[in-house]
């Protein structure tokens, strides 16, 4: 049995990866999804994985030790830095640990308590998974890691995305540009808001939507009010299924300040959406001129969006390119096979 340990109580990129692993290997292995109580429970219910859920009040050393005593896992799969460090402290090598880094926050580049804590924790890890070269290259102490490190990307299925979307046009979900992600500094939803304001004021678009929740929601709502954008820049909150919104928009915007992989970009491309995004992390490897554009400033986003939304032939070319680009990352079977091989090698 594999125990997945996650600090987050919501559903986002890392949580999606865990769900894909559980679904993809359910015929070969048993899994427990351990995370604090929260919105993740509704998501797990909606996709049929609630029976795998082990809810806790807070992720800490004691909670991890209790879970290991209860379930006796053969491998503990810890997701991101905090969960990985806590598992190292809690288990001290008594159970094989896979540390899985889904992100490359700016602090990983420097010497600080977090990077040093992870370096200390590494001595108890049996394997480290990273979603992109950017995570490995930016971690300050990468050269001092001695256990195996694999760059695995993210599990992704074009059919899996498309099959979950209602492709019937719905005016209640319609938009010209779309943001999907946590409303936190990393994802930079306020840059998206500035972009929406510019495009609306220039008459390029009529509606922009934001899917997600987080600490910047009040700031976003204030921006909407202060700029008289009510009904034009719409904060929809957290949604179990963002694909229905992707099926009813024209452009996906990903203005992240840092991004370990960039799964939302591929999900949007699977739906035929051109993507405008930053050069950060894994996005720079996903987005190219065939399917969108890498942007370096607000002006870049405005220019690129204006060009795409004003030139139907160009838009159709980018849309076709987006679908083709998504298919290049269609790896769900290979990904799960690789994870299973790693698990088996640690037992």
Q: Domain check: are 11 and 122 in the same one?
A: yes
pTM here is 0.84
pLDDT score of 2: 98
**In the predicted model, what is the mean pLDDT of residues 320-344?**
96
CB 134 within 8 A of CB 281: yes
Q: Domain check: are 74 and 135 in the same one?
A: yes
pLDDT score of 156: 92
Nearest partner of 215 among 246, 182, 170, judged by Cα? 182
- Helix axes of 189-201 and 298-310: crossing angle, nearest 10 degrees: 50
Q: Domain check: are 260 and 297 in the same one?
A: yes
- Say how far apart CA 125 and CA 122 lie, in whole Å: 5
pLDDT in tens, 20-51: 999 999 999 999 999 999 989 999 998 999 99
Share of the chain above pLDDT 70, in %: 100
Tokens found for residue 79: 């997701």
**In the predicted model, what is the mean pLDDT of residues 112-135?**
96
Find the domain containing 281 and state its range: 159-328
Q: Domain check: are 248 and 126 in the same one?
A: no
- Say how far apart CA 180 and CA 259 lie, in whole Å: 13
- Say how far apart CA 190 and CA 194 lie, in whole Å: 6
Share of the chain above pLDDT 90, in %: 89
Tokens found for residue 232: 């034009």
pLDDT score of 210: 98
Q: Domain check: are 47 and 195 in the same one?
A: no
pLDDT score of 150: 97
CB 190 within 8 A of CB 220: yes
Q: Domain check: are 13 and 110 in the same one?
A: yes
Q: Domain check: are 85 and 176 in the same one?
A: no
Q: Domain check: are 65 and 97 in the same one?
A: yes
Q: Domain check: are 321 and 190 in the same one?
A: yes
CATH number at residue 236: 3.40.50.2000
**In the predicted model, what is the mean pLDDT of residues 87-96?**
97
Q: Are strands 251-254 and 75-79 parallel, antiparallel or unpaired?
A: unpaired
Average pLDDT, the chain: 95
3-class DSSP assignment, residue 336: helix
Number of domains in the chain: 2
Q: How confident is residue 238, by pLDDT bands cut at 50, 70 and 90? A: confident
pLDDT score of 336: 96
Q: Domain check: are 116 and 166 in the same one?
A: no
Q: How confident is residue 285, by pLDDT bands cut at 50, 70 and 90? A: confident
pLDDT in tens, 148-186: 999 999 999 999 899 989 888 899 999 999 999 999 999
């Amino acid at each position: 049995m594999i125990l997945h340990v996650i600090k987050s109580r919501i559903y986002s990129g890392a949580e999606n990866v865990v769900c894909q692993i559980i679904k993809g290997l359910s015929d070969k292995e048993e899994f427990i999804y351990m995370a604090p109580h929260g919105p993740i429970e509704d998501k797990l219910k909606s996709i049929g994985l609630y029976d795998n859920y082990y809810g806790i009040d807070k992720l800490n050393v004691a909670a991890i030790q209790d879970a290991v005593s209860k379930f006796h896992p053969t491998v503990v799969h810890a997701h991101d830095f905090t969960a990985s460090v806590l598992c190292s402290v809690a288990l001290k090598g008594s159970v094989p640990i896979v540390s899985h880094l889904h992100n490359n926050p700016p602090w990983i580049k420097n010497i600080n308590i977090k990077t040093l804590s992870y370096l200390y924790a590494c001595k108890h890890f049996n394997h480290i998974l990273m979603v992109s070269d950017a995570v490995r290259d930016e971690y300050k102490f990468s050269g001092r890691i001695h256990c195996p490190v694999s760059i695995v990307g993210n599990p992704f299925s074009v059919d899996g995305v498309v099959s979950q979307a209602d492709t019937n046009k719905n005016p209640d979900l319609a938009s010209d540009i779309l943001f999907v992600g946590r409303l936190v500094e990393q994802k930079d939803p306020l840059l998206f808001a500035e972009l929406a304001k510019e495009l609306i004021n220039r008459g390029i678009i009529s509606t922009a939507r934001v899917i997600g929740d987080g600490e910047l929601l009040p700031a976003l709502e204030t921006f909407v009010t202060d700029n008289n954008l009510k009904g034009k820049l719409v904060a929809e909150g957290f949604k179990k299924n963002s694909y229905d919104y992707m099926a009813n928009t024209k452009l996906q915007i990903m203005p992240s300040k840092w991004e370990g992989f960039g799964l939302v970009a591929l999900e949007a491309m699977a739906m035929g959406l051109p993507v405008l995004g930053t050069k950060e992390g894994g996005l720079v490897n996903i987005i190219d001129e065939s399917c969108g554009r890498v942007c370096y400033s607000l002006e870049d986003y405005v220019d690129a969006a204006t060009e795409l939304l004003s030139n139907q032939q160009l838009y159709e070319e980018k849309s076709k390119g987006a679908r083709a680009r998504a298919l290049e990352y269609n790896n769900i079977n290979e990904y799960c096979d690789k994870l299973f091989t790693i698990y088996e090698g640690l037992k």
